[in-house]
Amino acid sequence: MRLNRQSLLGIAVAAVAVPAAVAVIPTAQAATGPDLLPLTVTNDSGRTEAVHLYVLGESGGKLGYVDADGVFTPWTGGANPPAPAPDVSIDGPANGASTTIEVPRGISGRMYMSFGDKLDFKLSQDGGLVQPAPWAAGDANSDILFDWSEFTYNDSGIWLNSSQVDMFAVPHKVGVTGSDGTTAETGELKPGGRDAVVAGLVTDTDFAKLVQTRDDGTVLRVLAPGKGADAGGFDPDYLAGYIDEAWDAYADTDLTVKPFADQPDKVFTGRTAGDTMTFTDATGAQVATITKPATADVWGCDGNLAAPNDLVVGPIARSLCAALQRTTLGSQSVEPSTDASTFYRTSPTNEYAKLIHANMVDGKAYAFAFDDVANQESLVHSGDPTAMSITLTPFR
């Protein structure tokens, strides 16, 4: 199983929710990866602007940053209101070149990349890092082309993923190489994929509002629907009618939830009564109740769909959130559906996630927090890594 990402990264932020898209970290075993794991960033973007890189995260219970040599330094100097963080950017590669950064074992965080201007980070009085939030009014980074990947590197290995949970901006793929020399990669867009995602969204009156463009005509990003609603440009009740119908579908019939692919006999059965869905286990004992979520709960996979790191309520909530995002709930008797051909077929649906997945070479993406349900996520892992990579791929 996977755990809620919020329990792993732990980056304190004043205005930004902690990202929710990295994998579960199993119980630590003997270290198999090197103390410093090389991360090679290759620029195949075709763009001419300078690239700036940032490796930020948590290590040893402290928030901080990593320099190019792999030295982790905790943040200091926060204030109220938040004060500017020091410039900890690392010079990235020019188009056609590569840059290698060392990443120390025992850190979980993000690698940001920006084109042209450097990013604006701030530190709060309690030591929290205020990260870029272009969906928030007045954010200093709103006119910068940037994105990030997420990672955790510990004694059990490396987990690295691209993320579109908050927004879709810079095309990039991620990779890890194991001690056997095998490299696994994911997150690569099809040729012209970025333009195809944007073009598909602008044809929809609602989703067109999620596209953010700079005054010079550069398409900077597409906000995820939840962030678009936060920004005030997207209908906050977009899924309300669908949620009502999907919820009511199980008033007279069972919903069977099988959250563990490796435990097919672990089954929970749900029925709705009004706004409450009650689940029982195989013995008939009541094990969970979930209140009908609002659209915001679905977009964020939180609120009424918050998933604790347990073996019952969390897996049920994750399965429901994925089913509502993919609009399979209400038409399936068993969730989660593992057949991607059943996803995003109901209207309204999450056109953002649908288009991003459709334009990935392997169909994998992290278009919402629990996109790892049914293994749809753009994640690579190695228990005995020798290297990892992030490649900035062509925009067209």
Question: Using an 8 Å Cβ cutoff, are 317 and 369 in contact?
Answer: no
Catalytic residue list contains 195? no
Q: Concatenated DSSP letters for 340-364?
A: GGGTT-SSS--HHHHHHHHTBTTS-
Q: How far apart are CA 310 and CA 382, in angstroms?
A: 24
Residues 6+ apart with CB under 8 A from 4: 20, 307, 308, 309, 314
Considering the candidates 58, 139, 147, 166, report the single residue annotated as catalytic. 166
262 labelled catalytic:
no
Choose, from 150, 230, 297, 302, the residue flagged as catalytic: 150
Would you say the C-alpha torsion 106, 112, 113, 118 has a positive or negative sign?
negative
Q: DSSP secondary structure string, 90-106?
A: EE-PPTT-EEEEEEESS
> What's the distance, CA 237 to chain centroid?
22
What DSSP line would sit under 97-157, residue for residue?
Answer: -EEEEEEESSEEEEEEEEESSPP--EEBTTS-EE---TTSTT-TTTTSEEEEEEEEEETTE
Neighbours of 224 (CB within 10 A): 27
Backbone φ and ψ for 199, nearest 5 degrees, come out as -60, -40
Helix (H, G, I), strand (E, B) or coil at 207: helix
Nearest Cα residue to 50 out of 96, 17, 93, 108: 93
What's the CA gap between 362 and 190, in Å, rounded? 9
Q: Which residues are catalytic?
A: 150, 166
